[in-house]
């Protein structure tokens, strides 16, 4: 996100329609340094999120963009829960979903994938950003209570491990966003001031962390 903000600041929104080669050349010349593959992949993922709705509608694009935004290989085919959570959070900061705009609603296929990923990782209570997942197996927590009805100690142990997984993903997302906003705060923008927005968002994140 920071590199995307810097790119738009320097070249305007018209630059979003340039080819990847042109974007790379122009930004390299502007910064007077080479851009790492990972950072360029993140930039192009951000451009894709801004200029279309494939992130919300196409499962292959959703996975590719989540991998790129979270710092993973953009040519991967599978994204785990933490990768999806980080990628979704950053994408929704770049292009927030609009409850009145169906084009920014996640497709049933994407929601089902998230549900499958949660099931595969044994997460009964989804992290905040993954609560939109749909699950074939229904309420996993209720099933666990039923399965371990005669063994409350085992249920407590299973639920405790599961809760820690959810907590770890939520914390990873917060840490990722905090890093993004810290970088945004330091951007040498020529048009506008990102510091005030970043400071406010960082304060909101700190408040969320304190409430946990």
132-142 pLDDT, tens digit each: 998 766 555 56
Tokens of 133: 């997942």
Cβ atoms within 10 Å, residue 102 = 10
User: How far is 157 from 96, CA to CA, in rounded Å?
Assistant: 37
What are the residue boundaries of the structural domains of the chain, listed by start?
2-211
Question: Helix, strand or coil for residue 40?
Answer: helix
Residue indicated by tokens 């304190």: 210
Q: In tens digits, what is the pLDDT along the chain, a chain of 212 residues?
A: 888 988 998 999 999 999 999 999 999 999 899 989 989 999 999 999 999 999 999 999 999 999 999 987 766 678 999 999 999 999 988 888 877 778 788 999 999 999 999 988 888 888 989 999 987 665 555 665 556 556 667 666 666 777 888 999 999 998 998 888 888 888 888 877 777 666 666 665 555 445 44
Buried b (16+ CB within 10 A) or exposed e, 33-60: eebeeeebbbbbbbbbbeeebbbbbbbe
pTM assigned to the model: 0.81
User: How far is 165 from 186, CA to CA, in rounded Å?
Assistant: 32
Chain-centroid distance of CA 108 in Å reads: 18
Is-contact 86 65, C-beta < 8 A?
no
């Amino acid at each position: 996100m920071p590199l995307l903000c810097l790119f738009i600041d320097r070249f305007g929104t018209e630059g979003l329609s340039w080819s990847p080669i042109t974007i790379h050349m122009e930004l390299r010349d502007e910064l007077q340094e080479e851009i790492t593959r990972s950072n360029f992949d993140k930039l192009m993922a951000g451009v894709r999120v801004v200029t279309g709705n494939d992130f919300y509608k196409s499962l292959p694009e959703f996975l590719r963009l989540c991998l790129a935004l979270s710092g993973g290989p953009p040519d991967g085919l599978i994204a785990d829960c933490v990768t999806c959570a980080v990628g979704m959070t950053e994408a929704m900061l770049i292009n927030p979903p609009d409850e009145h705009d169906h084009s920014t609603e996640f497709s049933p296929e994407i929601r089902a994938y998230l549900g499958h990923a949660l099931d595969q990782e044994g997460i009964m209570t989804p992290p905040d950003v993954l609560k939109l997942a749909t699950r074939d197996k229904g309420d996993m927590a209720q099933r666990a209570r039923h399965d371990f009805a005669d063994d409350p100690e085992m249920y407590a142990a299973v639920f405790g491990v599961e809760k820690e997984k959810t907590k770890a993903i939520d914390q990873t997302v917060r840490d990722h966003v905090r890093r993004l906003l810290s970088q945004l705060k330091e951007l040498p923008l020529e048009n506008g001031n990102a510091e005030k927005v970043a400071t406010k968002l960082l304060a909101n994140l700190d408040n969320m962390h304190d409430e946990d």
